[in-house]
Structure 1
Amino acid sequence: MESSNSTDSRSDGAELQRILLVTGLSGAGKSTTLGVLEDLGWETIDNFPVRLLERLVTNPDQQSDTVRGPLAIGFDSRTRGFVPADIIAQLKDLTGRDDLSVSFMFIDCADAELERRYNETRRRHPMTQGRPLLDGIGAERELLEPLRRWADIVVDTSNLSANDLQNHVRDLFEKRDDGAMTLTVSSFGFARGMPPLADLVFDMRFLDNPHWVEGLRELTGQDAPVGEHVQKDPAFAAAFDQIHDLLLTLLPRYQAQGKSYVHVAFGCTGGRHRSVFTAERMAQGLRDAGFSPTVRHRNLGSRAADEIERGKRQGN
């Protein structure tokens, strides 16, 4: 949602109050989302009675000259007065007001993942009522479907860890006063899953694997001997230069299109050697070109396991 990082204003120049309504399937991540928004300076209210929504939002005639901060309101199927059709009608009325900037966010998740989460935490789903868990999840999904269709922001957390979701919410709503694009360069291991929120992914498994070199296995791509080994691969220099040139072409165009956040990810098998070195080297190259990337290494703290690498030598 690109507009979430911009300042909305009325035609007379007055700043609009930002209202974000957050709902979704139970266990999908609504509470985590509201927690991040609170950290970002939003005033947050969870499980708010939806019928009182219009009363909560100050009438424009009663406003002071002080600009009000952004407000995030969470509600779900447990909330008193939860009738999707009535909620949508209220939101349409709020959207029509010229003093508000209203957005609606739906947190979704696959049934199987919700079932795993509930079984793991042993929490009771609010709509089971003595029936099997998946039946309760299905009933809630059917109830919420009109709201999902109406939402202008939908986040699917099926493949997101809590940390992934937190980072994604920050990407959507963290305000940048300078208007600059936020660039993240990361490394990851394919054996531990693809990064679900990356915009550009580059597979570095074509390079010779330091895991199989005596003395390098326990090191990482941040250690000089590993970097030297990766750079000696005949394919590295040409591939790196082409990726670097591609990024220098794409990143300014992303920024020109108003994209506030770009995540470039480099992967290898375990996420500790080739991808780490390439990400560090690329981040430095982008800094030299005038960008200010943040570097993240998702699997750097994971020990390289022989069972992950074994059998993958061919083509890696």
Structure 2
Amino acid sequence: MKLVIVSGLSGSGKSIALDTLEDCGYYCIDNLPVTLLEDFVDHVMLKDPATYSKTAIGIDARNRNQKLADFPDSLSSIRNKGIDCELVYMEADENIILKRYSETRRRHPLTTESRPLREALEIEREMLRPVATRADIVIDTSFTHYHQLRDLLKNRLGEKGKSSLSILFQSFGFKYGIPLDADFVFDARSLPNPYWAPELRGLTGKHAEVIDFLQNEVIVKEFLHDIGYFIGRWAPRFESDNRSYLTIAIGCTGGQHRSVYLVEALSKHFQTITPNVIVRHRELR
């Protein structure tokens, strides 16, 4: 039986995650009290495994602080019952969440007449610390739009292979910040930059002209070879250690040329080795 627990900051995309899992065949419950978590497993999931073979439960700061502190014990107890349980924790940059609330005009569950939104977010982050520290997967949605998040979750949880490691290759621009959910970050800013060629500036690493430019550079070939060798050598070690997901982030200055080319090249290579390869270009819109 499979149980996915989705938690995280308000405004980080938990509702989208649950909707996506529901589309993937999960029976979904939002805002289940932590005190009922073990009872639900014992008296609902285990009593009717056919109906609840794939279940997703949302847990957030609407639980009381003390109940959230008891969450690690409940999680351990559930796993001891033989349930395949994964905990997904979602977060985003504070300023991004503030902007989302401003755009939607929704009320944060912890705000009051005397407690502003920023203070509520700080309290929420501290309340959820016992959950966040136990997470199997941390997803930062600061620069992820609706469809990207759905695709990412479908690949990682809804349709992932059970017997092989899922590798996410992600390009990004350092000028916009480093992805918080990356396992490894590689810096490609020392490589020749197509941006300085006027005819290539408006293109991306997916265009043939940029690909030709970078493929003809020896240092780019060496960089690509070294990263591929590193991942090929160490990915099986992660898999043997029961890791299901590995995120490889490659950055250049703006996330348009070098990092995109490298991610595309690496993904094509590893797709011949494992079927669970995901590609994401954060800065390409």
TM beyond 0.5 = yes
Given residue 207 of structure 2, which amino acid in structure 1 is its aligned partner? D
Q: Does 1:191 align with 2:175?
A: yes
CA distance in 1, matches of 2:188, 2:76: 51
Report the CA distance shift for 1:44/1:200 in structure 2 as closer, same or farther (over 3 A).
same
Q: Which runs of 5+ in 2 are unaligned?
A: none
Percent of aligned pairs with the same amino acid: 32
Q: Which of the numbers 161, 165, 186 marks the counterpart of 1:181?
A: 165
Please name the residue that 2:279 is paired with: 295
Letter in structure 2 aligned against 1:280: E
Cα distance in 1 between the residues matched to 2:268 and 2:138? 32
Question: Does the Cα contact within 8 Å between 1:188 and 1:275 map onto a contact in 2?
Answer: yes
Q: 2:256 maps to what in 1? A: 272
Distance 1:250 1:212, change over 3 A: same
Whole-angstrom distance in 2 between the partners of 1:61 and 1:296: 35
2:113 is matched with which residue?
130
Question: Structure 1's 231 and 111: CA in aligned 2 closer, same or farther, altered over 3 A?
Answer: closer
The CA deviation at 1:168 is 5.9
Q: Which residue of 1 aligns with 2:232?
A: 248
Q: 1:266 to 1:150 in 2, by over 3 A?
A: closer
Q: Distance in 1 between matches of 2:68 and 2:253?
A: 50
1:117 counterpart (78, 100, 108):
100
Per the alignment, residue 84 of structure 1 pairs with 66
Matched, 1:202 2:182: no
Contact preservation (8 Å) 1:148, 1:154: no
Say which of 188, 199, 224 aligns to 2:208: 224
- Tell me the CA shift for residue 237 of structure 1: 2.8
Shift of 1:199: 2.6
Helix, strand or coil: the match of 1:59?
helix
Matched, 1:95 2:78: yes
After superposition, the CA RMSD in angstroms is 3.9
Match for residue 196 of structure 2? 212
Cα 1:45–1:87 change in 2 (3 A) is: farther
Query: 2:132 & 2:281 partners in 1: Cα distance?
Result: 35
Local SS of the residue matching 1:73: strand
Task: Give the aligned residue type for 1:261.
Answer: Y
In the superposition, the TM-score normalised over structure 2's length comes to: 0.75
Aligned positions of 1:25-174 closer than 5 A: 25-48=9-32, 56-57=40-41, 59=43, 63=47, 66=50, 68-78=52-62, 82=64, 84-85=66-67, 88=70, 91=74, 95=78, 98=81, 100=83, 107=90, 112-131=95-114, 132-141=116-125, 144=127, 147-148=130-131, 151-153=134-136, 155=138, 157=140, 159=142, 161-162=144-145, 166=150, 169-170=153-154, 173-174=157-158
Is this contact kept in 1: 2:143–2:282, CA < 8 A?
no
Are 1:108 and 1:154, in contact at CA under 8 Å, matched by a contact in 2? no
Matched, 1:236 2:220: yes
How far does the alpha carbon of each residue in 1:189-224 deviate from its partner, in whole angstroms, 9 at most, with x for none? 223332333333322222222222232222332233
1:243, distance to aligned residue in structure 2 (A): 2.7
Would the alpha carbon gap of residues 25 and 214 (structure 1) be closer, same or farther in structure 2, given more than 3 Å must change? closer
Cα distance between partner residues in 1 of 2:111 and 2:181 = 32
Deviation of the 1:179 alpha carbon: 0.6
Distance 1:149 1:190 in 2: 26
Once residues 257 and 76 of structure 2 are traced to their aligned partners in structure 1, the CA distance between those partners, rounded to angstroms, is 54
Tell me which residue corresponds to 1:304: none
TM-score where L is the length of structure 1: 0.69
Letter in 2 for 1:243: I
Task: From the CA coordinates, give the structure whose radius of gyration is larger.
Answer: 1
* 1:11 match: none
Report the CA distance between 1:44 and its aligned residue. Answer: 0.8
